[in-house]
A = this chain, B = another copy of it.
Amino acid sequence: MSENGNGRREVTVSDVASAARVSKATAARALGDYGAVSDAVRDRVQRAAEELGYRPNALARTMSTGRSHTLGIVIGDIENPFFAQATRGVADVAAAAGYDLILSNSDEEPAAEAKAIGVQLAKRVDGLLVAPASSIATGNLQAVVDAGRPLVLFDRTVHGLEVDAVIAANRSGAKRLTRLLLEAGHRRIAFISTLAHPGEYRLGDVLSSSSVAERVQGFTDTLAEAGVPHPERHVHLNARRDGVETLVARILDSAEPATAVIASDSLVALAVFRAARARGVGIPDELSLVSFDDADWTGLTTPGITVMSQPIHEIGAEAARRLLQRIGGDGSPTATTVFEQRLVERRSVAPPPPVE
């Protein structure tokens, strides 16, 4: 079928060729700007192409060259501002290099991710950017590596996989945040993430997101250094399944209620802020709140939220640059690029309320 839905036939090189009274090969040369063509013929062909409304078929070109000039990107959810920003970073670099983006949402589910990757591979993307849904189940990604497609991970790494990754210094960021709260006098600090995890978190548990894992590590390490017993008990996962509302309720209503919260991302911070407000607990007087990611609204609330800011756009851009290098044939050893995080202090941290 050389017709599209509307029954119109697309103009091909052959059409242009016969209109310009030259061979298909010559027309292709004149249009594709490769090989050698006399000026007279080039003009004639280009005029004919113009007249017929010739539009090259990129797929046919890909078939013979093996290059699609398309990158695949698989993220959790484009509505999540983190991913939106990173995607924009990727898109900018890609567009500048003449590449397009095929986008898929995994909803952080390995099965959906696998499917998305499969389709992207089938569409012969030149390379793949993935924020892996699971840092432990390597299957989905191993397939890409095995297929020999360039692959760059971002935001998270995957253990035991020989690929490039671009991430943020989550552990040190978490340490900084935890220390900040510790220094304000807090001892009962809750770390909240939406990351799915079977059962309660225990020290040594392997988490399916390396970035959350690093944050938890930084958090519990710092707590332990400060002499807080059982730091792992302060880690609260599954916030999506359980609902942040109920989680906050549980944390605040327990025998030893938390006096501060570290939100693992801006979406969690938003929900915690909302939940606190709904329960009438004041921030920061009754509850201190800090978060990862400097979302656009964090400076707008009363009080503004103290956050650990990540260069999200740049993470995406750098990942794209790396991928483009690999596609270009760069065979240097794989590496993980780590971006520092930056503390933005606002007013959501105060000493814990005095015990009555």
Residues of B within 8 A of A110 (CB): none
Q: A35 interface residue, CB < 8 Å from B?
A: no
Scoring A4, A68, A120 by chain B CB atoms within 10 A of each residue's CB, the highest score goes to A4
Q: A329 interface residue, CB < 8 Å from B?
A: yes
Q: A300 interface residue, CB < 8 Å from B?
A: yes
A8 x B101 contact (CB < 8 A): no
Q: A79 interface residue, CB < 8 Å from B?
A: yes
State how many residues of chain A have any CB contact under 8 Å with chain B: 68
- A54 shortest CB reach to chain B, Å: 11
A:56-81 near B, CB below 8 Å: 56-60, 62-66, 68, 70, 77-79, 81
Residues of B within 8 A of A7 (CB): 148
How far, in angstroms, from A68 to B150 measured CA to CA in the complex? 23
Residues of B within 8 A of A122 (CB): 55-58
A150 x B5 contact (CB < 8 A): yes
How far, in angstroms, from A128 to B65 measured CA to CA in the complex? 26
B66 x A3 contact (CB < 8 A): yes
Q: A326 interface residue, CB < 8 Å from B?
A: yes
How far, in angstroms, from A302 to B300 measured CA to CA in the complex? 8
Interface flags, A88-99, vs B, CB<8A=1, else 0: 100110010000
